[in-house]
């Protein structure tokens, strides 16, 4: 990424909202990066402004997070949010204590000092969102009170003579009505940052960077049919054309007709793409395996073998391109310091086998998912391709519970196709974050005509989410469920019962395996 002149640094103290701060800043067309509070980047001088995030911790705790801000405070525009505000107060001679009154939820700002650029265009009484258990009792040296709420006296302050501002509320959450305006006032009016980080500018700069980075080198990329690898491919295609070799592997676990349809679409986009149908190889390797982790590992291993075989056919390939996006690379700050438990070992298409010795290029690694979509749209990519639901690398294998057979894959593909097509025709597809069908390892009794049947049961799952970390089941209309269930049972041979999954995550993960 270039545009060094316009970077904003967000120092993360582990708040669940840190990524939201970054997204709000970027919605203002300003580029920003998140770094852990204790790893202030060595090129911090190149950042035009700094934002301190919130945190689940207390500044008063024994394991408090206390970075040295002396190279930042007073030297460049600084906005401290929630824990950040408390830490700034603490760091600069103020006093932070446990609060006696409720400081969670909605509150209204009462401006103490009017005419401040920081609150320009925002009305007295504007709604803000609070979420903290400590409070700032005494402002730090040079602190000037800007606003209070009914329960929080020092809700916003600045440091006299500096572009340093602190707010106890969260400007990044939607409940803070004018949160985006606060960020805009700080970044544009106070820090004087230009709003020029647009999808078009990103494409232009990334393509230029890729051209100079890759020169005449050959690059191989594994397309998955998903948004990220497709947009990454398009950027590389613009930069190096035919030197980008795309490989689209059919693992036999894709949706119905997906391999053919998506391959044609890729060809229509002008990509140098090779479709490799390795369904039989995957199904053979999976035969008799019913443990979810074993299935994932097998698919990961076979994918690498197939991909490697294909990549070896390309002479002198030097780079492996991947569709890695920003949430995959943000280094997280753990409140406890310990690693988080592995719930599922995710296999993502395009993993780098050690022995390939290729250099890695990741053109999307600075972008959030919605930004990837906007970048794709600015390159006029097909909106259906860009709007596709996430689909797991191991595909239908983790939606067929237990062991796999070609017949089970066929049944699930048919069921899934009815469900997804209906979501589209009822205009529900774009309102759902992810949807799919699951083939259960149970048969149940039914009657069809005068015949007793003993056939498969399938579950339908549709969820709302922003990042897949948490998810709510979607309240699909009864008429839709009724029609879809009838259609599945009538059309798909081997299925006589349909159920709808009404579990949220946590505790129920999105995939059943």
Q: What is the DSSP string of 60-128?
A: TSTT------TTTBTTB-EEEETHHHHHHHHHTT-EEEE-SS--EEEEE-EESS-S-GGGTT--TT-EE
Q: Give yes or no for a contact between 373 and 246, defined as CB atoms under 8 angstroms apart.
A: no
Binding of ligand XMP at residue 505 (CB under 6 A)? yes
**Catalytic hit among 35, 82, 371, 414:** 82
CB of 45 or CB of 293, closer to ligand XMP: 293
Rounded to whole angstroms, the Cα distance separating 488 from 416 reads 9
Q: How far is the CB of 325 from ligand XMP (least distance, A)?
A: 12
Tokens 């002149």 — which residue?
5
**Quick check: is 479 catalytic?**
no
CB of 36 or CB of 350, closer to ligand XMP: 350
Binding of ligand XMP at residue 390 (CB under 6 A)? yes
Q: How far is the CB of 378 from ligand XMP (least distance, A)?
A: 25
Q: How far is the CB of 426 from ligand XMP (least distance, A)?
A: 22
Q: Give yes or no for a contact between 50 and 77, defined as CB atoms under 8 angstroms apart.
A: yes
Q: Are strands 156-159 and 95-98 parallel, antiparallel or unpaired?
A: unpaired
Binding of ligand XMP at residue 392 (CB under 6 A)? yes
CB of 238 or CB of 505, closer to ligand XMP: 505
Q: Which of residues 284-313 bind ligand XMP (CB under 6 A)?
A: 296
Rounded to whole angstroms, the Cα distance separating 284 from 39 reads 47
Identify the residue among 251, 434, 484, 485 touching ligand XMP (CB under 6 A). 434
**Quick check: is 82 catalytic?**
yes
**Catalytic hit among 90, 132, 170, 347:** 170
In sequence order, the 6+-apart residues with CB closer than 8 A to the CB of 256 are 413, 414, 416, 417
Rounded to whole angstroms, the Cα distance separating 157 from 143 reads 6
Torsion of CA 429, 431, 437, 438, to 10 degrees: 160
Binding of ligand XMP at residue 348 (CB under 6 A)? yes
Q: How far is the CB of 305 from ligand XMP (least distance, A)?
A: 18
Beta bridge partners of 36: 12
CB of 65 or CB of 510, closer to ligand XMP: 510
Contact string 349-388 vs ligand XMP (x = CB under 6 A): ----------------------------------------
Rounded to whole angstroms, the Cα distance separating 415 from 24 reads 39
Identify the residue among 319, 394, 408, 412 touching ligand XMP (CB under 6 A). 394
Identify the residue among 468, 480, 494, 504 touching ligand XMP (CB under 6 A). 468
Stretch that binds ligand XMP, among 107-115, 195-203, 244-252, 346-354 (CB under 6 A): 346-354
CB of 258 or CB of 511, closer to ligand XMP: 511
Q: Which of 154, 114, 146 is closest to 130 using CA atoms?
A: 154
Cβ of 55: how many Cβ atoms within 10 Å?
26
Q: How far is the CB of 303 from ligand XMP (least distance, A)?
A: 11
**Stretch (H or E) spanning 483:** helix 478-491
In sequence order, the 6+-apart residues with CB closer than 8 A to the CB of 205 are 1, 2, 3
In sequence order, the 6+-apart residues with CB closer than 8 A to the CB of 342 are none
Q: How far is the CB of 471 from ligand XMP (least distance, A)?
A: 7
User: How many residues lie near ligand XMP (CB under 6 A)?
Assistant: 15
Stretch that binds ligand XMP, among 171-179, 188-196, 327-335, 392-400 (CB under 6 A): 392-400
Binding of ligand XMP at residue 393 (CB under 6 A)? yes
Query: What is the tally of helices (H) and strands (E) in the chain?
Result: 13, 21
CB of 129 or CB of 391, closer to ligand XMP: 391
Q: How far is the CB of 202 from ligand XMP (least distance, A)?
A: 25
**Catalytic hit among 32, 35, 132, 172:** 172
Binding of ligand XMP at residue 180 (CB under 6 A)? no
CB of 218 or CB of 388, closer to ligand XMP: 388
Q: Give yes or no for a contact between 266 and 221, defined as CB atoms under 8 angstroms apart.
A: no
Identify the residue among 5, 346, 359, 493 touching ligand XMP (CB under 6 A). 346
**Is 153 buried (19+), middle (13-18) or exposed (0-12) by CB count in 10 A?**
middle
**Quick check: is 346 catalytic?**
no
Largest alpha-carbon pair distance within the chain? 87
Binding of ligand XMP at residue 510 (CB under 6 A)? yes
**Stretch (H or E) spanning 9:** strand 7-12
Stretch that binds ligand XMP, among 27-35, 73-81, 453-461, 502-510 (CB under 6 A): 502-510
Binding of ligand XMP at residue 347 (CB under 6 A)? yes
Q: How far is the CB of 375 from ligand XMP (least distance, A)?
A: 21
Binding of ligand XMP at residue 344 (CB under 6 A)? yes
For residue 195, report the phi and psi dihedrals to the nearest 5 degrees: -95, 70
Q: How far is the CB of 434 from ligand XMP (least distance, A)?
A: 5
Helix, strand, or coil (residue 179): helix
Beta bridge partners of 98: 134
Q: Give yes or no for a contact between 180 and 24, defined as CB atoms under 8 angstroms apart.
A: yes
Interface with ligand XMP by CB under 6 A: which residues? 296, 344, 346-348, 390, 392-394, 434, 468, 505, 509-511
Residues annotated as part of the active site: 82, 170, 172
């Amino acid at each position: 990424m270039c545009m060094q002149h316009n970077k904003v640094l967000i120092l993360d103290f582990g708040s669940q909202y840190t990524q939201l701060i970054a997204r709000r800043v970027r919605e203002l067309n300003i580029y920003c990066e998140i770094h852990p509070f204790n790893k202030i980047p060595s090129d911090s001088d190149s950042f035009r402004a700094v934002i301190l995030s919130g945190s689940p911790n207390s500044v008063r705790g024994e394991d408090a997070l206390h970075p040295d801000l002396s190279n930042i405070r007073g030297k460049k525009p600084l906005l401290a949010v929630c824990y950040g505000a408390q830490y700034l107060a603490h760091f600069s001679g103020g006093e932070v204590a446990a609060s006696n009154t409720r400081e969670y939820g909605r509150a209204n700002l009462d401006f103490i000092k009017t005419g401040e650029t920081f609150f320009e265009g925002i009305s007295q009484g504007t709604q803000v969102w609070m979420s903290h258990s400590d409070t700032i009792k005494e402002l730090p040296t040079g602190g000037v009170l800007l606003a209070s709420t009914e329960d929080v006296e020092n809700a916003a302050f600045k440091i006299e003579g500096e572009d340093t501002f602190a707010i106890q509320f969260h400007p990044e959450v939607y409940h803070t009505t004018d949160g985006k305006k606060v960020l805009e006032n700080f970044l544009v009016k106070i820090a004087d940052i230009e709003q020029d980080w647009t999808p078009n500018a990103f494409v232009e700069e990334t393509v230029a960077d890729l051209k100079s980075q890759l020169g005449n080198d050959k690059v191989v990329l594994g397309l998955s049919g998903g948004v990220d690898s497709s947009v990454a491919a398009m950027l590389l295609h613009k930069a190096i054309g035919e030197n980008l070799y795309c490989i689209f592997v059919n693992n036999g676990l894709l949706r119905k007709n997906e391999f053919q349809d998506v391959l044609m679409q890729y060809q229509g986009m002008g990509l140098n793409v090779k479709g490799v149908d390795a369904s039989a190889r995957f199904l053979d390797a999976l035969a008799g395996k019913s443990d979810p982790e074993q299935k994932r590992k097998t698919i990961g291993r076979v994918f690498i073998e197939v991909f490697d075989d294909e990549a070896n056919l390309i002479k002198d390939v030097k780079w492996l391109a991947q569709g890695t996006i920003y949430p995959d690379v943000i280094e997280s700050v753990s409140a406890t310091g310990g690693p988080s438990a592995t719930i599922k070992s995710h296999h993502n298409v395009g993993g780098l086998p050690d022995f390939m010795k290729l250099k890695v290029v990741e053109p999307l690694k600075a972008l959030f998912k919605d930004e990837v979509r906007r970048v794709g749209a600015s390159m006029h990519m097909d909106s259906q391709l860009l709007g596709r639901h996430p689909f797991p690398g191991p595909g239908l294998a983790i939606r067929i519970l237990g062991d796999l057979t070609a017949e089970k894959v066929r049944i699930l593909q048919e069921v899934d196709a009815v469900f997804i097509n209906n979501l589209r025709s009822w205009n529900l597809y774009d309102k759902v974050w992810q949807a799919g069908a699951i083939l259960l390892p149970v048969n149940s009794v039914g009657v069809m005509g005068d015949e007793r049947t003993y056939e498969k049961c399938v579950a339908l799952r549709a969820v709302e989410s922003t990042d897949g970390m948490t998810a709510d089941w979607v309240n699909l209309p009864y008429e839709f469920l009724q029609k879809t269930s009838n259609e599945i049972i009538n059309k798909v041979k081997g299925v006589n019962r349909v159920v709808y999954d009404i579990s949220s995550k946590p505790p129920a993960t999105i995939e059943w395996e």
